[in-house]
Structure 1
Amino acid sequence: MVLLRLWLFLVIVVLSIYTVIVGQGDGWNLLPIFFKDIMNVGWPGQFNLDFLFMLTLSALWTAWRNRFSAAGLVLGSLALFGGSLFLSVYLLVLTVKHRGDMNAVLIGK
């Protein structure tokens, strides 16, 4: 559990720093670039489409885990748009809240 939590913390720190650097350099309007790459049907678009499906799975799991409640739908939306940064924070909080019980982390109570 310690290694998982360290990995999640590392993801949060590295991705946060990288995101700030890219946002300052390229601007914060990611969506047109993201979807343009998909429409160009090349490897960057393939990666983005694959990533979009992973974001969707993360959002659906997060909403499902919270029984599609209002809070679950909000958290699912955050998962969709927040990506690995949101999911790392969410999983880190859940591992602490459920004291490392991975059944509770993944499925809920």
Structure 2
Amino acid sequence: MRGFAFFCLVLWAMLAAYTSITIANHGLGLLPIFFGDIAEMGWPGQFNFDFFLMLILSAGWTAWRNRNGGTARWVLTFFAMFGGAGFLLVYLPYLIYKNNGDMAIVLLGPEYPGDPNP
């Protein structure tokens, strides 16, 4: 899993570079463009709507995985919703490292009881 974690961090660096260039060239006016494309009902809007649904799934998984996390649950869910890949590409390697590569705990949370049918 260390390879996957490293791959996520490389992708994050690529995303950070691309985002920095985009902000330098176009500023921070993402939301009006993002939702404006969706309202136009064209292919850019279809892609944005698809991506928006993926953000909702990411936030839902984060909230569910951290179901006993108190305030941290909602902070992480917020970052999953509005941070997208920029959040997950850092959060997943953190969880892999923290849980020694145990993907059941990474994906299902620390309360996961394990395989009911060993």
Q: TM-score, normalised by structure 1?
A: 0.96
Letter in 2 for 1:81: F
Report whether the alignment pairs 1:104 with 2:94. Answer: no
Alignment-derived partner of residue 10 in structure 1: 10
Whichever of the two has the greater Rg, that structure is: 2
Report whether the alignment pairs 1:94 with 2:95. Answer: yes
Q: Percent identity?
A: 50
CA RMSD of aligned residues (A): 1.0
Instruction: Return the offset for 1:64.
Output: 1.0
User: 4+ runs of 1 displaced by more than 4 Å?
Assistant: none
Instruction: Return the offset for 1:29.
Output: 1.7
- Mapped to 2, the partners of 1:78 and 1:16 lie a distance apart of 16
- 1:1-109 to structure 2, matched below 5 A, reads 1-67=1-67, 69-109=70-110
Corresponding pairs, count: 109
Deviates more, 1:5-14 or 1:44-53: 5-14
- Gaps of at least 5 residues in structure 2 are 111-118
Instruction: Return the offset for 1:70.
Output: 1.6
Instruction: Return the offset for 1:5.
Output: 1.3
Alignment-derived partner of residue 116 in structure 2: none
Instruction: Return the offset for 1:63.
Output: 1.0
Q: TM-score, normalised by structure 2?
A: 0.89
CA deviations over 1:48-92 (Å, ceiling 9, x no partner): 000000000000110111106321111001001100010110001
